[in-house]
């Protein structure tokens, strides 16, 4: 090959690689990374992207050079020269991809095993997924509808599903995990950035899939301890208004229902400000109507709302005391509306 041709090939390759690198670096493709695991996963991502940019530059240079240099004249109908294989070229294009793919495999394996290594002082949170809500259970027995996490401490999330396949995804943590009925799956998260991030169900799981969202709140360790204590105290409060409000909040009710007293404006399920009118419509006294609607939601369906959307597990999840507190909270909150 002439020296001039090599210079052209190199030039086109450098320009195409530069353009591709600029597109990769200038645009904000990824959300902030908020965990140690995310940093490692991003490393694999950029490792692969760098390889891709180099390959893109080589291919672009070969194509652009060939299109210009070997362009046929408009009246040239002749066949090209007969070529039968090129052993050296074939060895090269087998060997180079093999080395690259093996390297990606090794880097990925190291990152995965590091992300899977669990620290001794890890916090364990059980995550229960069900159509269409998340419940986060802490070692103290506290349940919460939002995932509060202390910054800097490794947390193991253990997933179980009560019904169908869901998937847990927090883009800022970069990790996605399927939640399969009958299996317990896990991921580890070591938050590095205080903030509020979306928890998304990433597997089509039914009518309310798009509403199956929560938030992950990363706090300073001291703030996390305060939160944990405050929540536990509120749920166990002898004051039914305080306990009821905490139970309403911690079990994700606000995601689907409107209740002005709780600042909730969900539209998936019936409007809880109108409970007295709805009980009248159902022909039942208010208190037993509310209780049955929580423990056996399909017993009566408010016209205009679908069946089987409200989780049917709250009857088992709540103690008698918690249920009573929630019912009386809903009665007092909806009265006079």
**Pick 168 or 173: Cβ nearer ligand CUA:** 168
Long-range contacts of 239-246 (CB under 8 A, 24+ apart): 240/324, 240/325, 240/328, 240/329, 241/328, 241/329, 241/332, 243/321, 243/322, 243/325, 243/326, 243/329, 244/325, 244/326, 244/327, 244/328, 244/329, 244/330, 245/329
| Smallest distance from ligand CUA to CB 229, Å | 31
DSSP string, 9-47: HHHHHHHHHHHHHHHHHHS--SPPP-BHHHHHHHHHHHH
> How near is the Cβ of 160 to ligand CUA at its closest, in Å?
13
- Which residue's CB is nearer to ligand CUA, number 57 or number 205? 205
- In the complex, least distance from residue 145 CB atom to ligand CUA, rounded to whole angstroms: 14
Per-residue x/- track, 312-331, ligand CUA (CB under 6 A): --------------------
Closest distance to ligand CUA from the beta carbon of 132 (Å): 6
Residue 174 interacts with ligand CUA (CB under 6 A): yes or no: no
* Range 295-314, binding ligand CUA (CB under 6 A): none
Q: Which residues, numbered 189-208, are part of the site for ligand CUA (CB under 6 A)? A: 201, 203-205
Q: How far apart, in Å, are the Cα atoms of 303 and each of 49, 283, 330? A: 53, 13, 20
158 binds ligand CUA (CB under 6 A): no
Contacts of 89 (CB under 8 A, 6+ apart): none
Q: What's the closest the beta carbon of residue 205 comes to ligand CUA, in angstroms?
A: 3
Cβ distance to ligand CUA smaller for residue 170 or 234:
170
Identify the residue among 40, 166, 249, 257 touching ligand CUA (CB under 6 A).
Answer: 166
Beta-bridge mates of residue 227: none
Buried b (16+ CB within 10 A) or exposed e, 100-112: eeeeeeeeeeebe
Site string for ligand CUA, 237-276 (x = CB under 6 A): ----------------------------------------
Cα of first residue to Cα of last residue in the chain, in angstroms, is 86
Let me know how long the chain is: 337
Quote the least distance from Cβ 177 to ligand CUA, whole Å.
12
**178 vs 324, which CB is nearer to ligand CUA?**
178
**Dihedral sign of CA atoms 316, 319, 321, 325 in order:** negative
108-137 binders of ligand CUA (CB under 6 A): 129, 132
Q: Which residues bind ligand CUA (CB under 6 A)?
A: 129, 132, 166, 201, 203-205, 209, 212
């Amino acid at each position: 090959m002439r020296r001039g041709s090599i210079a052209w090939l190199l030039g086109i390759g450098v320009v195409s690689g530069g353009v591709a690198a600029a597109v990769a670096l200038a645009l904000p493709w990824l959300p902030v990374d908020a965990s140690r695991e995310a940093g490692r996963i991003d490393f694999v991502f950029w490792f692969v992207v760098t390889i891709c940019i180099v390959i893109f530059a080589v291919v672009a240079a070969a194509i652009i050079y060939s299109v210009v240099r070997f362009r046929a004249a408009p009246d040239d109908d002749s066949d090209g020269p007969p070529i039968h294989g090129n052993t050296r070229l074939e060895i090269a294009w087998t060997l180079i991809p093999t080395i690259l793919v093996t390297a990606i495999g090794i880097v990925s394996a190291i990152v995965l095993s590091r992300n899977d290594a669990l620290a001794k002082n890890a916090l364990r949170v059980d995550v229960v997924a069900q159509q269409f809500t998340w419940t986060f259970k802490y070692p103290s027995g506290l349940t919460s509808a939002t995932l509060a996490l202390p910054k800097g401490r490794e947390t193991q999330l253990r997933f179980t599903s009560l019904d169908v396949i869901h998937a847990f995804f927090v883009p800022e943590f970069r990790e996605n995990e399927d939640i399969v009925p009958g299996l317990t799956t896990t991921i580890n998260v070591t938050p590095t950035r205080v903030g509020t991030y979306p928890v998304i169900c990433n597997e089509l799981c039914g009518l309310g899939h798009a509403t199956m969202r929560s938030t992950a709140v990363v706090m300073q360790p001291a703030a996390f301890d305060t939160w944990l204590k405050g929540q536990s105290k509120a749920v166990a409060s002898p004051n039914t208004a305080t306990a009821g409000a905490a139970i309403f909040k911690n079990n994700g009710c606000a995601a689907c229902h409107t209740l002005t007293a709780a600042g909730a404006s969900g539209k998936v399920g019936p409007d809880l400000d109108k409970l007295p009118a709805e009980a009248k419509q159902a022909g039942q006294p208010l208190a037993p109507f509310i209780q049955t609607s929580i423990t056996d939601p399909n017993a009566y369906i408010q016209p205009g709302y679908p069946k089987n959307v409200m989780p049917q597990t709250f009857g088992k999840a709540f103690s008698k005391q918690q249920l009573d507190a929630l019912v009386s909270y809903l009665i007092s909150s909806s009265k006079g509306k």
